[in-house]
Amino acid sequence: MATEWKNLSEYDPTSVPSGQGKRVGIVVSDWNPAVTDKLLQGACDTLLKFGVKEEDLLIEHVPGSFELSYGAKVIIERTNVDAVIVLGCVIQGETPHFTFVCDSVTQGITQLNLTSDVPVIFGLLTTLTLDQAKARAGGRHGNKGDEAAITALKMIAIRSNYQ
């Protein structure tokens, strides 16, 4: 569903599994920090609200969105997390760079989800303008970080059902 008709921060709290005892990695891009800092805050606040302890949040910063896949891969391979959330923001400019970065991150995260036992949650904003990004990072459309955190908890629950 298009974000225009859905608030990213709206969810039924009774449908969200507990995060108690879970460890979540978050890889956040330092590019566009006015947006990504808010995405990170939304994800952390939501995970804490549902029982993940602050000491069980593993936060790593990467320079840009292109590096999100590698950051997630390192966390999966070298730590013991139940899920990884990637957060970033790519805003279309005048060159095809936007398309290359968005496609690469999408493919990288998909590949990690297909080859790893740890769910990797796609929290990359791909917008045409900074205003659109801000609207999805705590603005009128809610916060994609909240949505990514809820998705992580639900995917952890699915994984736990089959262990």
Query: Could you read off the pLDDT of 102-139 as tens digits, one per residue?
Result: 999 999 999 999 999 999 999 999 999 999 999 999 99
Task: Give me the active site residues, please.
Answer: 97
What pLDDT score does 95 carry? Answer: 83
Instruction: Report the alpha-carbon distance of residue 70 to residue 54 in Å, rounded.
Output: 24
Instruction: Report the alpha-carbon distance of residue 43 to residue 85 in Å, rounded.
Output: 9
Taking each helix axis from N to C end, the angle separating 33-49 and 144-161, rounded to the nearest 10 degrees, works out to 40
Residue 60: which residues within 8 A CB-CB, separation 6 or more?
25, 26, 27, 28, 71, 74, 75
Residue 152 has pLDDT above 50, yes or no: yes
Question: Alpha helices of 31-143 — where are they, by DSSP H?
Answer: 33-49, 68-78, 97-115, 130-135
Residue 4 has pLDDT above 80, yes or no: no
Instruction: Report the alpha-carbon distance of residue 3 to residue 144 in Å, rounded.
Output: 10
Domain 23-161 has CATH 3.40.50.960: yes
Residue 14 has pLDDT above 90, yes or no: yes
137 and 38 Cβ atoms separated by less than 8 Å: yes
81 and 24 Cβ atoms separated by less than 8 Å: yes
> pTM (2 decimals)?
0.95
Reference 106, options 62, 61, 159, 66; nearest CA is: 66
